[in-house]
Amino acid sequence: MEIRLQKENEDIIRSLIGTGRIPHTVIIEGGGAKERESAAWLLAAGAVCREHDRPCLRCAACRKALDGFHPDVFCPEPSKNLKSGILSLRDLRDGYLSQMSIRPNEADCKVYLFEDADRLLREDAQNALLKTIEEPPQKLLFIFTAEDAKRLLLTVRSRARIITLRRSQAVDEESEAAAESIIGGLASTYEYELLRTLSALNDKDRLKGALAAFLEKLRQALGFFGGVMTDDESVKRLTRKLDRSRVIALIETTDEAVGILKTNVNIQLLTTWLSARYRRITWQK
């Protein structure tokens, strides 16, 4: 796990750790997916680090936490038998809840990090966790990440410290540039240009950002056909190349891809599929 965090978001997490009184339940929302993930792991490392300036990110405890094999840091993964990225109630009970009263191995507390908790944990699982969150049998730290904390049960939220990360400006500029490249790829007569552009977005966050920015441009293009003017050169380019029905088809396909991105999809397969669909929509007579 590589921590990639904007300075101000890192400061938020470090100040929480620095107080020496980390709340027992923290929800990390906002920012980008990578920011939330990094913030969550920074906090987890901070809870088990043995040095003064926690987390030092250098000591054995920090390294073990970030490499995913600290014996007191748990990051429950979706159940294998379920396709949808959900942790089943049964797996939560058998794999984690039943162990929560067992003392930590090395650290002062045990850390449970639920990434994308709004998708990972259905209501039944959140309810099952609630009792332990309210009355932990020992020192536990629960960390949940979610794009929007409101997607978690109110009963969970009300017992948690909610940390809202700032969205990165740099990421948005990158997404904007990527969306423009997609448009360039669509317009290119060279068949593999689009595939090459999309394949370069080989990271879930970057692809997600790029598709969001591309969707925004498509919606502006649709608005243009409805009589709304635009100054955006890349949107104008879209409207010169495509008619209204093709723009709508691109919006539908992009929406679909954004939905698929929320599952544990292979990014390369998704970009290949997307490239073929975009190409067909753009070029078929």
Q: What is the dihedral of CA 88, 91, 93, 95, to 10 degrees?
A: -150
Scanning 9-17, 59-67, 68-76, 123-131 for contacts with Zn ion by CB under 5 A, the matching segment is 59-67
Query: What string of DSSP letters covers 165-176?
Result: EPPPHHHHHHHH
66 binds Zn ion (CB under 5 A): no
Which residues ranging from 149 to 208 are in contact with Zn ion (CB under 5 A)?
A: none
Examine residue 51 and tell whether it contacts Zn ion (CB under 5 A).
Answer: yes
The rounded distance, in Å, linking the Cα atoms of 253 and 233 is 23
Binding test (CB under 5 A) with Zn ion, winner from 33, 62, 146, 213: 62
Gap between the Cα atoms of 247 and 235, Å rounded: 11
The C-alpha atoms of residue 27 and residue 114 are separated, in whole angstroms, by: 9
Rounded CA separation 214/92 (Å):
38
> What is the closest distance, in whole angstroms, from the C-beta atom of residue 43 to Zn ion in the complex?
13
Give the interface size with Zn ion as a residue count (CB under 5 A). Answer: 6
Name the residue nearer to Zn ion (CB basis): 40 or 89.
Answer: 40
x/- string (CB under 5 A) for Zn ion, residues 6-45?
----------------------------------------
Q: Does 49 bind Zn ion (CB under 5 A)?
A: yes
| Residue in 1, 59, 97, 251 binding Zn ion, rule: CB under 5 A | 59
Residue 40 CA to residue 31 CA, distance in Å, equals: 12
Chain positions contacting Zn ion, by CB under 5 A: 49, 51, 55-56, 59, 62
